[in-house]
């Protein structure tokens, strides 16, 4: 089994937020982007994720013990607060160190990046921890993830600091909501059994998937406008998002049977990691002045 610290912070699951962050980095990067800022930004990102996932494991300790290993990056019943390999006190201590590192390095990037990382860490906290524990509140669970993805995108953009497009940012927020919905529908049986009132449990899987189709229509409209009105790299990005969202929606629809959705985590994880790597390479090529944009 993986190290208890890996099971504590769940790096594979970070990929979900790495994608908007790397898209932002790729699009925002420029010839004069400070390379130290990229390293500082990555440390801030990793520590933010570590903080958010430790708190999530801690607050989910009593429900994760019933997890059967399905549809996740790991079998959550093996997370170290469930197995007792890491004490709550030690976990909280590592979380505290993580948030301090995250904000300290964010401070070294720029003011906007720092402000966004304060917000990102607050979202990580209120999503999992009482009294808010938004992961168990209908709509709030979706909004937290969508907002965290949008914040990650803007933070990524702010590293290089160019090419911010409001419509593209709004599109990212809605796209993140659309990608989050099937995951919460997949968790439906488990969340219902353990008494968590997520959006899927509250509205029912069918209704929440209907909301997803409506939002997909909004996404297609937004990215079509971005495609028609912006430069080459935003055009390509819009096209990628349109095509992948459509494939994802159709795949989710095919897999939805008898009011249940059993979607393997790899439908998200594999394309997300490939796209993240692609955008990082693209950003570095721009910084090295090997690619120009028009
Ligand atoms: C997983 O939540 C944890 C996160 C999505 C981290 C939250 C961080 C943000 C910045 C929003 P979960 O408990 O709903 O899912 P899992 O069952 O995978 O732990
Ligand atoms: Mg959890």
User: If the chain, 294 residues long, is cut into consecutive pieces of 10 residues, what is the mean pLDDT of each piece?
Assistant: 95 97 96 96 98 98 93 94 98 98 98 98 98 97 98 97 87 97 92 94 94 96 97 94 94 86 86 97 94 67
**Which pTM value belongs to this model?**
0.95
**CB-hemisphere CA count at 13 Å for 123?**
22
Q: What's the rounded Cα separation, in Å, for the pair 185 and 172?
A: 20
**pLDDT at residue 294 in the model:** 53
Q: Choose among 101, 159, 151, 104: nearest CA to 124.
A: 151
* Ligand 1 neighbours (beta carbon < 6 A): 52-53, 56, 60, 72, 76, 123-124, 127, 135, 144-145, 148
Ligand 2 midpoint to CA 57 (Å): 5
CA of 179 to the centre of ligand 1 (A): 13
What pLDDT was estimated at residue 97?
98
Instruction: Give the pLDDT of residue 293.
Output: 64
Distant-in-sequence, close-in-space partners of 202: CB < 8 Å, separation ≥ 6: 138
Residue 135 CA to ligand 2 centre (angstroms): 9
pLDDT of residue 163: 66
**Which ligand 1 atom is the nearest neighbour of the CA of 120?**
10
Query: What would the two tokens of residue 17 be?
Result: 């937020």
User: What is the total residue count of the chain?
Assistant: 294
């Amino acid at each position: 089994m993986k190290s208890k610290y890996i099971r504590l912070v769940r790096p594979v699951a970070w990929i979900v937020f790495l994608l908007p962050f790397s898209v932002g980095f790729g699009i925002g990067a420029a010839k004069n982007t400070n390379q130290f800022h990229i390293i500082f930004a990555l440390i801030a990102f990793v520590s933010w994720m570590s903080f958010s996932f430790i708190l999530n494991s801690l607050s989910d300790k009593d429900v994760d013990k019933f997890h059967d290993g399905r549809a996740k990056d790991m079998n959550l019943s093996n997370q170290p607060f469930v197995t007792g390999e890491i004490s709550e006190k030690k976990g909280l201590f590592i979380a505290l160190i993580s948030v301090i590192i995250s904000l300290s390095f964010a401070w070294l990037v720029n003011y906007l990046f720092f402000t966004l990382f304060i917000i990102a860490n607050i979202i990580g906290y209120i999503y999992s921890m009482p009294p808010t524990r938004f992961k168990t509140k209908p709509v709030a669970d979706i909004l937290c993830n969508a907002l965290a993805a949008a914040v990650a995108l803007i933070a990524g953009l702010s590293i290089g600091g160019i090419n911010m497009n409001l419509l593209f940012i709004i599109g990212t927020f809605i796209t993140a909501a659309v990608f989050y919905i099937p995951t919460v529908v997949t968790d439906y049986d488990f969340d219902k059994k353990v008494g968590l009132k997520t959006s899927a449990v509250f509205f029912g899987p069918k209704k929440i998937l209907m909301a997803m189709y409506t939002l997909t229509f909004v996404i297609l409209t937004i990215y079509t406008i971005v495609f028609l009105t912006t430069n080459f790299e935003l055009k390509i990005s819009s096209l990628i998002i349109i095509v992948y969202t459509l494939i994802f929606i159709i795949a989710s629809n095919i897999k939805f049977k008898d009011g249940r959705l059993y979607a393997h985590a790899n439908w998200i994880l594999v394309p997300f990691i490939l796209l993240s790597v692609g955008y990082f390479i693209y950003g570095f090529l721009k910084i090295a002045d090997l690619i120009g944009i028009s």
